[in-house]
Amino acid sequence: MSVRPVLRMGDARLLRRAGPAGDFGSAALRALLQDMRDTMQALDGVGLAAPQIGVNLRVVIFGVEKSPRYPDADAVPETVLINPVITQLDDEIEDAWEGCLSLPGLRGLVPRFRNIRYQGYDEQGAKIDRTVSGFHARVVQHECDHLDGILYPMRIRDITQFGYTEELFPGQALQDE
């Protein structure tokens, strides 16, 4: 399959609300997911949403292995999540740094719910229902925001906490979402 160009902030297609995906198990969905995986791997990303490659459907992928580069970040299972619904489990908010493949080279301090439940479907239409916290919950919220046309800078509370990765974290190679 193929690595697709990732749209960057400023492209109006990133600001749309995506529509529901159907056709579970179809060749078209399989091809889309393969392109998304190829693209995410090529760019060493943690997650990718279909709208980031110009496909206006409610499909996201994410996943990261436990890495010595991120001793504080938990592993997140490789997941295909279609037509997701997120429910906050309490009011606890946590701030942490995020990057995004649509804003290469930048990082921002973003508030997210610490504890969530997410539900949706995998590529075969099997139900997914998980209760997660911390980094896993953050990645899911970041990716699902893309389905509603929301990019992480729109959620930053203190805009001084937004800038170039090389300046904020000199010498560190960080992954984007």
Which stretches of the chain bind Ni ion, using CB under 5 A? 100, 177
Of 40 and 100, the one with the shorter C-beta distance to Ni ion is 100
Which residue out of 98, 123, 143, 177 is catalytically annotated? 143
Q: Please check whether residue 132 is in contact with residue 144, taking contact to mean a CB–CB distance below 8 angstroms.
A: no
- Mark out the alpha helices in the chain (DSSP H runs): 27-42, 134-146, 165-168
Please state the closest distance from residue 11 (CB atom) to Ni ion, in A. 13
Of 32 and 101, the one with the shorter C-beta distance to Ni ion is 101
Please state the closest distance from residue 43 (CB atom) to Ni ion, in A. 11
Active site residue 94: no
Of 17 and 91, the one with the shorter C-beta distance to Ni ion is 17
Please state the closest distance from residue 77 (CB atom) to Ni ion, in A. 19
Which residues are 81's β-sheet partners? 60
Give how far Cα 119 sits from Cα of 79, 82, 123, 125, 144, Å. Answer: 12, 9, 13, 12, 11
Please state the closest distance from residue 158 (CB atom) to Ni ion, in A. 20
Q: What is the number of alpha carbons within 13 Å of residue 65 lying toward its C-beta?
A: 4
Q: Rounded to an integer, what distance in angstroms lies between the CA atom of residue 139 and that of residue 135?
A: 6
Q: Rounded to an integer, what distance in angstroms lies between the CA atom of residue 22 and that of residue 19?
A: 10
Of 13 and 24, the one with the shorter C-beta distance to Ni ion is 13
Active site residues: 143
